[in-house]
Chains A and B, each alone.
Chain A
């Protein structure tokens, strides 16, 4: 079974430029998450989708971040414009259900460097 796929793996951009990250979850997983992981820290949730609906986006900085999951499968996370402080690893995860007992499966992440 294929795992969670993310691309690109690495991205270097100048500040004020836009950037987008793509995620393809495990087949059949309706719940999709985007996390931000700063160096030396645990992942922090940015947004959670149930199918195509964003059910928790309270931690997403909506002035510059946006996300979509139009057909309830793939998802894209966008930053526009990027700031120096956005340099981090962006992780996508999926789970088979939205209940608290379900474990999440993570992709390899996209390491963003903003210069």
Chain B
């Protein structure tokens, strides 16, 4: 069964500092990995995805994520945090082995707070 873990419920970062939001996954086949962000009273917004190719994926709002197969991780990063980055971040995974049942499994979310 596919699963994803976000080990940190809360991450606090000073404005201007680099940020990392951690995600690890478990699949039977190859992983298709996604990051979403959720602002208060709004739906999830797609940030970026890894399907194949370069391990470093660039997405919206200056975010990027690094796929690491040996560590089964897909950490979200940004070189310089903005106060407006404060939100709830979700990592999600699909398993290539589940052909015909491409269920997307979400983590429990990490609340990112950028301190001015």
Number of residues in A with C-beta < 8 Å to the partner? 22
Q: Which of B51, B98, B104 is close to A45, meaning CB atoms less than 8 Å apart?
A: B104
Q: How far, in angstroms, from A6 to B43 measured CA to CA in the complex? A: 10
Q: Which residues of A contact B104 (CB under 8 A)?
A: 45, 104
A40, A42, A91, A105: residue with the most chain B Cβ atoms closer than 10 Å: A42
Q: How far, in angstroms, from A107 to B43 measured CA to CA in the complex? A: 5
A2 within 8 A of B: no
Q: Which of A4, A42, A98, A108 is close to B90, meaning CB atoms less than 8 Å apart?
A: A42
B32, B44, B103, B109: residue with the most chain A Cβ atoms closer than 10 Å: B44
> In the complex where A100-B32, A103-B46 touch, is A42 in contact with B101 (Cβ < 8 A)?
no
CB of B77, distance to nearest CB on chain A (Å): 19
Q: How far, in angstroms, from A96 to B101 measured CA to CA in the complex? A: 16
Contact between chains at B106 and A43 (CB < 8 Å): yes
B41 within 8 A of A: yes
B80 within 8 A of A: no
* Complex: chain B residue closest to A9, CB-CB: B41
A14 within 8 A of B: no
Contact between chains at B46 and A109 (CB < 8 Å): no
Q: Which residues of B contact A42 (CB under 8 A)?
A: 90, 92, 106-109
> In the complex where A42-B109, A43-B106, A100-B102 touch, is A106 in contact with B41 (Cβ < 8 A)?
no
> In the complex where A100-B32, A100-B102 touch, is A41 in contact with B108 (Cβ < 8 A)?
yes
B45 within 8 A of A: yes
Q: Which of A6, A41, A91 is close to B44, meaning CB atoms less than 8 Å apart?
A: A91
- 14 additional A-B pairs beyond A100-B98, A107-B43, A108-B42, beta carbons within 8 Å, are A42-B90, A42-B106, A42-B107, A44-B106, A45-B103, A91-B44, A93-B43, A100-B32, A100-B102, A101-B32, A101-B51, A104-B46, A106-B45, A109-B42
Q: 4 nearest interchain CB pairs? A: A42-B106, A106-B43, A100-B102, A106-B44
